[in-house]
């Protein structure tokens, strides 16, 4: 019988996974020998995966940040493990992009009966992500909003926190260098996207998640601090998503490798988690991980 690690964040989903642990293990045990581990501190899940080495399947329950921890551990040890994802976070952007159900029992059933999708991974200096890297307006909200608020009012907590910081956000003085060109200037937000959904908004319904490319979106700012026009441009982008039509306020590129120069105190958000500050190298690892998705879910594939 193949070995499966079941790792979960007990704080995610208002403690639902902990209450459902026995049921989840019972279902997974139909096909796998299951070892269960609960995350006790930041980085604990990565540590468990690194200690266990190569296994056939890692089932993770939590939000996008917890999933990111698993992705990083897999990439660091060069594991060939498949990922089964039970989304129990507040927003669950990755699950929305891959058709993974939020209902725990249905998500486990899809892990047992679904198909493997080879998903691109991107590398930001020495960290890995799979759906978004960003900086600028609103991008600190995901990790600065308290767990208590998120448990109480869910997505609204993000909106309330984001509104507080709108007009205190400084513009990004940014220089992006890639093969064949340079982009330089002041920007309200930088978004590097490999997802259908970001922050719960359907950014790109036609996203291809395994083509070895990332969507680069830079929304311009005219002043040192983000002004009302830039705020409206960012809000409009999130509501309308990536469009083919050109917009003078938005720079859009599709790239697989580049370097970004920004001030040292600029925070980088990777898959909803604060990971570093300042300039970074970015590259896409085509089809870097294997994640199980529902067998009937239609994805745009390379």
129-284 is a CATH 2.60.200.40 domain = yes
In order, the DSSP letters of 26-74 are HHHTTTEEEEEEE--STTHHHHHHHHH---SEEEEEE-HHHHHHHHHHH
Tell me whether the CATH fold assigned to 2-114 matches the one assigned to 129-284: no
Domain edges within the chain: 2-114, 129-284
Q: Could you tell me the CA-to-CA distances from 192 to 49, 85, 236, 258 in Å, in that order?
A: 27, 23, 17, 11
What is the reported pLDDT for 168? 58
Distance CA 92, CA 100 (A): 9
* Top CATH class, 2-114: alpha beta
How confident is the prediction along the chain (302 residues), in pLDDT tens digits per residue? 899 999 998 887 678 899 999 999 999 999 999 999 999 888 899 999 999 888 999 999 999 989 999 999 999 999 999 999 999 988 899 999 999 999 999 999 999 999 999 999 999 999 999 999 999 887 765 544 444 544 443 443 334 344 445 555 789 999 999 999 999 999 999 999 999 999 888 999 889 999 999 999 999 998 888 888 888 888 899 889 998 777 899 999 999 999 999 999 898 999 988 887 899 999 999 999 999 999 989 888 77
The distance from CA 287 to its chain's CA centroid, rounded to whole angstroms, is 16
What is the reported pLDDT for 162? 44
CB atoms within 10 A of CB 27: 18
Question: 133 near 184, Cβ under 8 Å?
Answer: no
Distance CA 8, CA 50 (A): 15
Distance CA 26, CA 102 (A): 19
The distance from CA 168 to its chain's CA centroid, rounded to whole angstroms, is 25
Taking alpha carbons only, the member of 53, 59, 54 closest to residue 21 is: 59
What is the reported pLDDT for 259? 98
φ and ψ of 76, to 5 deg: -65, -40
What is the reported pLDDT for 209? 97
Show the tokens assigned to 98.
Answer: 């891959």
The conformation of residue 141, written as its DSSP 8-state character, comes to H
Total residues found in the chain within this entry: 302
Strand partners, 193: 132, 215
CB atoms within 10 A of CB 106: 13
What is the reported pLDDT for 54? 81
What is the reported pLDDT for 191? 96
Q: Is the dihedral of CA 273, 276, 277, 280 positive or negative?
A: negative
Side-chain half-sphere of 276: how many Cα atoms within 13 Å? 18
Distance CA 93, CA 176 (A): 26
**Who contacts 12 (Cβ-Cβ below 8 Å, separation ≥6)?**
61, 62, 63, 66, 88, 89
Query: Phi/psi zone of residue 244: left (φ > 0), alpha (ψ -120 to 50 degrees), beta?
Result: alpha
């Amino acid at each position: 019988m193949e070995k499966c690690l079941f790792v979960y964040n007990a704080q995610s989903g208002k403690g639902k996974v902990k209450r459902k642990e026995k049921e989840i293990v019972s279902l997974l045990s139909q096909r796998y020998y299951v070892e269960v581990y609960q995350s006790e501190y930041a980085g604990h899940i990565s540590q468990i995966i690194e200690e266990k080495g190569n296994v056939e399947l890692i089932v993770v329950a939590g939000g996008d940040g917890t999933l990111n921890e698993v992705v990083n551990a897999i990439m660091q040890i060069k594991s060939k493990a498949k990922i089964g994802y039970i989304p129990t976070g507040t927003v669950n952007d990755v699950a929305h992009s891959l058709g993974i159900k939020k209902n725990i029992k249905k998500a486990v059933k899809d892990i047992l009966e679904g198909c493997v999708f080879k998903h691109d991974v991107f590398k930001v200096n020495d960290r890995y992500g799979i759906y978004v890297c960003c900086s600028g307006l609103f991008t600190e909200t995901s990790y600065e909003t308290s767990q208590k608020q998120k448990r109480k009012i869910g997505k609204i907590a993000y909106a309330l926190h984001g509104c507080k910081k709108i007009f205190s956000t400084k513009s990004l003085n940014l220089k992006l260098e890639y093969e064949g060109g340079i982009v330089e200037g002041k920007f309200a937000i930088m978004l590097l996207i490999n997802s259908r959904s970001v922050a719960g908004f359907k950014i790109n319904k036609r996203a291809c998640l395994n083509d070895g490319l990332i969507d680069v979106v830079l929304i311009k700012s005219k002043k040192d601090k983000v002004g009302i026009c830039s705020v409206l441009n960012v809000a409009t982008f999130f509501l309308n998503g990536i469009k083919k039509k050109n917009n003078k306020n938005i720079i859009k590129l599709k790239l697989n490798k580049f370097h970004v120069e920004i001030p040292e105190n600029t925070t980088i958000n990777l898959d909803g988690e604060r990971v570093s500050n300042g300039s970074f190298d970015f590259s896409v690892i085509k089809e870097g991980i294997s994640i199980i998705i529902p067998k009937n879910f239609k994805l745009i594939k390379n």
